Amino acid sequence: MAGVKTFFKFSCLGCLTVIFLFVAVVGIFGWISGSNATFTEAEANYTPEQVAASLPLSDFDQTTGSVNRVKLFVSGVESVVIRPCEENEGLAVEASYNDKRIDFSETWGQEPDGTWSYNVEMKGSGSEFMRLVEQIFNRREDSLNLCLPADAPVALEAQLERVGLEAELGGLWLTTLDIGLDRAGAFIGFGSPLREPVSSMSMQVNMGGVVFHGVGNASPGMLNADYKFAGLTVDMSGDWKQDSQIDLKGMASGVTVIVPRSVGVEGVPDLAPAVGSHPETNPTLFFAPGTDFEDISVRRH
């Protein structure tokens, strides 16, 4: 019995030693990382005159490329914010980051047809664990804040990996919206109607939690979602202006779709019909034939 007690005594001491050494190593690495971190503040501003629509609306056509384009490629950044610009802003970006770990660049280009393009890249390196340790010891987070003009039609594409995203897109003039999220958490809202209904909205979500709110205010003609190992909430409330073709497909996920009582819905079994004034003339949401509703919950609100 004494031998057993001695064994457990030294086993526990060994475990405590291992834990102590682990904490010490993490602390040393965190202290070194914090000591070497150099945070950089970067910004760029473009005037309202630079980003204003230079062609009549009828000449902007995404199929021919005659549309302004904004592309974001961001990874390993704790906070990404996208919002409409104020009246005195044209297009602006602000970034705060550890330049030992993150590379940041932004490029503006004027096209011969009078449109413009804007690209932002902000990519981090290193493991998620060390990034967390660095954040604890620095007590600062890498961040990106982008405002988009409301008076110019924009095709927005964002590929985001290992980020936290908060986007309020209400009031913008979006022609298309394409968002890819990998191991990310995101809230994407449309608090007010877009200047014009967006022709298509697509999202690809891998291992993340995402909320789309007020999608009706964007009134997408087509909405496509491809997801796996994700939690996805699509709140379609808002002021629908047109019918929409909806295609949801994925695996190993939980998806909740909330549709307003006033719009028609086709392709969803056992859903209550639309109510309100003139429901027969209101826009209709057409879910793609063959949609697997096993992991999709659709309800009215």
**Facing residues of 19 across strands?**
none
Say which amino acid occupies 274. A
pLDDT at 100: 83
Q: Write out the chain's pLDDT in tens, 301 residues.
A: 555 455 445 455 555 555 554 444 444 444 444 445 678 999 999 998 888 865 555 555 544 456 899 999 999 998 999 999 998 889 999 999 988 889 999 999 988 888 899 999 999 875 555 555 565 556 568 999 999 999 899 999 999 999 999 999 999 999 999 999 999 999 999 999 999 999 999 999 999 999 999 999 999 999 999 999 999 999 999 999 999 999 999 998 899 999 999 999 999 998 988 887 666 788 999 999 989 998 899 999 8
pLDDT at 50: 87
- Tell me how far apart the alpha carbons of residues 182 and 204 are, in angstroms, rounded to a whole number: 8
**CA dihedral over 262, 186, 195, 201, signed as positive or negative:** negative
Taking Cα atoms as reference points, which of 229, 173, 219, 207 lies closest to residue 53?
Answer: 173
pTM, entire model: 0.83
Residue 221 backbone phi and psi in degrees, to 5 = -65, -35
pLDDT at 7: 45
